[in-house]
Each structure stands twice: as C-alpha cells, then as structure tokens.
Structure 1
Amino acid sequence: MDISYILNELGEDREQYFNAVAPPIIQTSNFACNTVAKLRDMLQHEAEVHFYTRGNNPTVTMLEQKIAALEGAEHAIAFGSGIAAVSAAVLSQVKAGDHIVCVKKPYSWTNALMRKFLPRFGVEVTMVDGTNPENYRNAIQPNTRVLYLESPNSFTFELQDIAAVVAIAREHSLITIIDNSFATPLYQHPIAMGVDIVVHSATKYIGGHSDVMGGIICAKREVVNRIFEGEFMTLGAILSPHDAWLLLRGLRTLPVRMERIAATTRQVVAYLEQHPKVEQILFPFIPSHPQYELARKQMRNNTGQFSIVLKTNQIEQVDLFCDSLQHFLMAASWGGHESLIYPVSASYSSGNYKSSLPFNLIRFYIGLEESDYLIKDLEQAFAKI
C-alpha cells in the first residue's frame, strides 16, 4: 500500500463530513442505536463497531487504520501513552508463573514494568544483552512466554538482530514483542521480519510536535481484538479523540520530517566524530559502530537519536557543557521539532549516583533546526570546558 495513500486517504470518508480536508474530531462518549436488535448486535461486536468511545471512536479508528497499514499489520489499537501500549501488550501474553526474556536497558518505564511491576504478580523476567541473539535462547525456560525487544534500545542504542530473535522464538513457540518507537513505521518493519506484536510511543515521531501523548499496538486482528476485550477495556488507558486528531496531523508530515531529521543528524554526528572532547559516539549508523551492517540491513535510515560520551572525568564539566548549550533544550522524550539533550549526570543527587550508565553520557535528539545552527551551538559549549 502506497505511503502517500495511507497518510492522505486511507480511512478518510470525506463525503461523510462535508468533504472537509481535515478529518473531524468526533467528540462524543456515546453512540446511539435505533433498535434493541442493533444495540444487541453492537454489544456482541464491540471491538469492531463504534458503541462507546472508551472502546472505539471514529477519529481514533482512522489513526489506528493508518498506523496498522504503515506497519504492515492487520490491525492496531491506540492508547493514551506509549507505556500504556507496552504494558497492555505484555500483560496480554502472560499470567502468574510465566517468564519473559527482555533486552537489557530498555525504556525506563518498560524497565520498571519488567523489574518491579510484573514480579509482584508472579511473572519472572530475565534481562539479556540483546546484541547476541543466542543470549535470548540461553535465557529461555520451560515457562517462558515472551521475548521482548527494543531495537535500537534507549540511551545506548544497541540493536537486536530481529530476524534471528524471531527464529529462536518460533523454535520454542514464543511470542515476540518489539518497541519500534526509535525507528518509526517508516524506517523499520518488524512485522515483515516475523515479529508478532509491535508497540509505539506515538508521543515521539508520530506526533512530531511535542504537544500530544499516545501509544499504539499493531498485530494480527485476533491478537488486537483479544487485547481490546481484556487489557484495553478493563484498564481504560484510552486515547482521546482530540489527541488522535493531533496524531493524525503529525502523520501527514512524518516522511518529510524524518528525512530532514535523518540528514541533519548525520551532519551533526560527523562534526562530533572528529571533536577531541568527544570520547565515544553511540550511533549505529556510523561505519565504526560494531552493529553498523545490522543497522543497514534491518533499518531503512537513521533517525535523530544518539548519545555521546564526553571526554572528562569531572561531572562538573558535563554539567557545564550541557548548561552552556543555548539551542538544545534539556528535556525528556524526543521526536518533536526541537533538538534536545538529556544528560545522565542528572541522575546524580547529593553525590548519590542512580544510573548504571556513565555519568558523562549525554543523549541527543536532533529536531528540525539547521545543522549549522546546532553545530555552532555545540562549538561554543565545547569551548567552555
């Protein structure tokens, strides 16, 4: 299916809403029925109809159709945040007594789900170095149900060989789940590689404007409908119609934004590669990276995130560098129009270091600014240390 068709036409029945170019926000909680027979039928097929906005809403449905098509999935379901989607996807596949093998160093709240929340309910989790697929195989137990991937993963951006992990999962009849937020549905297609469930933080690139939160699960229709009837309807972490409309707006420009971000990121990384005050760059799309060939194999392009290790053993120097940047905002998340940094040194509090990552590691996100504008800012900040 053509990307232009998906983004601009799929699911958009404009004749039903006065031929408006932008879709309407169907801001309603309820949908009425004319007969008891109709109501009875809707109750029996709630996963597929518009009956109650806590279940389905036309504006939200349009978003789900588009992202499912971009991912090459049969169906999708939208949530109010990325971690809501991750949690529902994982919870839908396990019960007390089960076991999950998860990649090390995932997104912080995924890490909390795996290490703190699931064990409270009798679900065991083993964290593995995902750069070697055999680590997944070696961690499998008789009660293992899920192999969880996040490729590339947060902050240090290691990749997992998706096809290899899927092959291991199939040998043992296990479910694979991947967080594909980093790469977007444009630059990595896990379902085509055999992954069962794909999750996204739509807050990031899909929204693209740093003004909305959302999450998506993509999978086979049977899997999505089972999540709808269980975790989705029970826990109620829904996406509002207005937020779905904002995400639809973000989707319109996703390809052009990603192209601009990818090109600018390569230029900024090239500058940082030669800088004497940078000890290391964590970015899988530079030839010196040990997973460069794998990145080129399973991703269509780079995106805007990378980390650097600053060449210093003084936390004060890291803080000074970060504080000196004038055009990189210091904030969590990523995927919007603005360039960002997130220093691991912020995990220090009163001399107590609370991270397994090196204190001189700084995560960057490149937005839509000109590369020269950002590089000049980096230059003046480097000059301060």
Structure 2
Amino acid sequence: MNDSYIINQLAENREQYFHAVAPPIIQTSNFAYPTVDEFAYAVTHEKDEHIYTRGNNPTVNMLCQKMAALEGAEDCLMVGSGAAAITNAIMSQVSMGDHIVSVKNVYSWATRLMTNTLPRFGITTTFIDGTDINNFVETISDKTRLIYLESPISWTFEIQDLEKIAELARKKGIITIIDNSYCTALCQKPIEFGIDIIIYSATKYYNGHSDIVAGAICGSKEKMTQIFYNEYMTFGNILSPQNAWLMLRSLRTLPIRLKQSSESTLKILDFLRKSPKIDKIWYPFEESNPQIDLVNKQMKMPMGMFTVSLKNKDISSIKKFCESLQSFLIAVSWGGHESLIMPKCAFVSETDPQASMIRFYIGLEEADYIIEDLEKNLFLL
C-alpha cells in the first residue's frame, strides 16, 4: 500500500462527514444505541464497536488504521504517551517469574520499568550489548519470554541486527518488541525483519509539532486485541480524540518534514566533520560507523538526530556554547519543527567521560542558518 495513499486517503470516509477534506473530531466520551440487542452486541465487541472513548473512538480509530498501514502491521493501538506504549507492550507479554533480555541504554523510562517496577512482580531483566547476536544467544534462558530492542539507541546510535534477532527469538518461542521512535516506519519497518511488536513515542516525528504527547503500539491483530482487552483497557492511558485529530493533521506532512530534516542534517554534519572543535560524531550513517552495512540494510533514509563530543572538555565552556546557540532550544525529545540540543552534562557529573557529549536534533530551519550559528559559537570555544 502506497504511503501517500495511507496518509491522505486510507480510512478517511469523507462521504460520512459531509465530504469534508479534514476529518471531524468525534469529541464524545459515550455512544448510545437504539436497542438493547445492538447495545449488547457492541458491549461484547468493543474492540470493533463504539461504547466508550476509553476503548474505541472513530477519530482515534482512523489514526490507528493509518499507523498500522504505514508500519505494514495488521493493527495499532494509540495511547497517551511513548511511556504508555512501552508499559502496555512489555507488561502484556510477561508474567511472574519471566525473564527479559534488553539491549543496554534504552529510553530511560523503559529502563526504569524493567529495573524498578517489574522486579516487584518477580520479572527480571538482563541488559546486554545488542550489537553482537552472540550476546543474545548467551543470555537467553528457559525463562526468557521477551527480547526488548531500541534501534538505533538514541544517544550513541548503535543498532541491532533485527533479522537475526527475530529468527533467534522465533526458534525459542520468544516475543520481540522494538522502540522504533528514531526512525518511523518511513525509515525502518521492523515488521519486515520479523519483529513482533513495534512501539513509538508518537510525540516525536509522527506528531512533529511539539504540541501533543502520544504513543503507538503496532503488531498482529491477535496481539493488539489481547493488549486491548487487558492492559490497554485496564491502565486507561488512552489518546484523546483531540490529540488523535492533531496527529492526523501531522501525518499529512510527515514525508516532507523527514526529508527536510534529513537533508539539513547531512549538510550540517558535513560542516561539523571539518571543524577542529569537534572530537567525535555519533550518527548511524557515518561512513566510519562499523555497523554502516547493517544500517544501509535496515534503514531507508538518514534521520535528523546525532551526537557530538567537543574537544574542549571544560564543562563551563560546554554550557556557555549550548546557551549561546540561537538556532537551538535546550530541551528533551525530538521530531518537532524546532531544532534542539540536549547536553549530557545536564544528566551526569562533570567528571563523567560522557559529559562533553551534546545530542542534536535538526528541525525544519534552513541548514545554512544553523551552520552560521554553529560556526560562530564553535569559534569561541
């Protein structure tokens, strides 16, 4: 199915809405039925019918259909945040006494779930270097029920061999989950490599305007239905119709936003490679990346986030540099219209070896404008 068709036509049903070009917001908590029998049928088929917006809503459902189709998945559930997507997906697949194998340095709230919350219920996690398939082979036990991936990792951008990991997991009867937030389905489709469940912080590229928080869970109809009637309905972390509508708006421009951000990033990186003030660059498509062949196999396009380390390791100088940049905001997240920086020294001690690292996200500003800003402030380091 063509991405342009999915984004602009799939599930629009304009004939039901006065042929409106933009879909309506079905801003209701409740749905009524004319007969008891119709009501009873809807109650027992809530995944496909409308009873209460906590479970199913037409505006949210339109978004779910588009997200699933972009992913190449059978179904999708939209939730209120990326953290909610992580929690629903992981907890749906494990029980007391189970074991999880996770790659190291995944998103902080995924790490916290696996290290702080799940152990209270007898579920353990082993964190490994995900760049070597042998680490998965050696760590899996007869209690392992889940492999958790994030590819690329969002600070240093190591990736995992999704095809080999999925093949290993299938042989062992283990479920695989990946956080694909860095890439989106336009850059990487993990389901094509055999991954079972794909999750997103849809706050980022999919929304792209830094005005809502959302999450997505994509996979088979069977798995999404299982999650719907258990974790999704129980935890209640739904996406509101208003925010679903804003995301439908955002999907219209997703391809062009990704293209602009990616092209600008390549131009800015070309400038930074030549700067004597830069010590190291972390980016999946760097030619010096030892995983470059795997990157080219799994990822269809460059994306807009990278990390640099400055040669000047003085923390006060690093802070001054970050605070002097006019084209970047100091903030978490990524994927919006605005360019962002996140200095590692805000999270670690000044003596930490990673304290000089700065993560950059390139938004929709003109690349030359950003380069001029960087050049001026790098000169002062």
Q: 5 Å matches for 1:48-197? A: 48-197=48-197
- Hey, which bits of structure 1, 4+ residues long, moved more than 3 A? none
Instruction: State the alpha-carbon separation in 2 of the partners of residues 201 and 305 from structure 1.
Output: 15
In the TM superposition, what whole-angstrom CA distance separates every residue of 1:120-154 from its partner, at most 9, and x where no partner exists? 21110000001112111111011000011100012
Task: Summarize deviations over 1:129-184 as a string: whole Å, max 9, x none.
Answer: 01112111111011000011100012111101111111111121100000111000
Q: How does 1:290-309 map to 2 (within 5 A)?
A: 290-309=290-309
Q: Match for 1:325: what amino acid? A: L
User: What's the CA shift string for 1:68-99, capped at 9, x where partnerless?
Assistant: 00000000000000110111000000011000
Q: Which residue of 2 aligns with 1:281?
A: 281
Query: What is aligned with 1:7?
Result: 7
Q: How many residues align?
A: 381
> How far does residue 335 in structure 1 lie from its aligned partner after superposition?
0.2
Task: Determine if contact 2:315/2:350 at 8 Å carries over to the other structure.
Answer: no
Q: State the 1:288 CA deviation.
A: 0.9
Instruction: Tell me the equivalent position of 1:371.
Output: 367
Asked if 1 retains the 8 angstrom alpha-carbon contact of 2:187 and 2:299, the reply is: yes
Q: What is the distance in 2 between the residues matched to 1:357 and 1:68?
A: 41
CA contact (8 A) 1:347 1:353 kept: no
TM-superposition CA deviations, 1:267-289 (whole Å, max 9, x none): 11111111111111000101111
Distance (Å, rounded) in 2 between the aligned partners of 1:119 and 1:381: 46
Paired AA for residue 238 in structure 1 = I
User: What is the CA distance between 1:106 and its match in structure 2?
Assistant: 0.5
- Distance in structure 2 (CA, Å) of the matches to 1:226 and 1:171: 22
Cα distance in 2 for residues equivalent to 1:165 and 1:128? 13
Contact 1:344 1:357 (8 Å CA) reproduced: no
Residue type at the aligned position of 1:200: Y
Distance 1:114 1:137 in 2: 20
Q: Say whether the 8 Å CA contact 1:114–1:125 is kept in structure 2.
A: yes
* Amino acid across the alignment from 1:379: E
Give the whole-Å Cα distance in 2 for the aligned partners of 1:165 and 1:204.
26
Residue 360 of structure 1 is matched in structure 2 by 356
Matched residues in 1 for 2:172 and 2:39: separation? Answer: 43
- 1:324-375 Cα deviation digits (max 9, x unpaired): 1111111110000000000001124xxx569x77000100000001111001
Could you tell me which residue of structure 2 aligns to residue 327 of structure 1?
327
Pair 357,104 (structure 1): closer, same or farther in 2 beyond 3 Å: farther
> Gaps (5+ residues) in structure 1?
none
> Equivalents in 2 of 1:239, 1:79: separation in Å?
5
CA distance in structure 1 between the partners assigned to 2:193 and 2:319 by the alignment: 41
- Aligned amino acid, residue 185 of structure 1: A
Does residue 316 (structure 1) correspond to residue 316 (structure 2)? The answer is yes
**Counterpart secondary structure, 1:148:** strand
Deviation at 1:114, TM superposition (A): 1.4
How far apart are the structure 1 equivalents of 2:212 and 2:313? 38
**TM-score, scaled to structure 1:** 0.97
CA distance in structure 1 between the partners assigned to 2:64 and 2:200 by the alignment = 12
Could you tell me which runs of 5 or more consecutive residues in structure 2 were left unpaired when the two chains were aligned: none
Identity %: 52
Shift of 1:313: 2.6
Q: Which residue of 2 aligns with 1:383?
A: 379
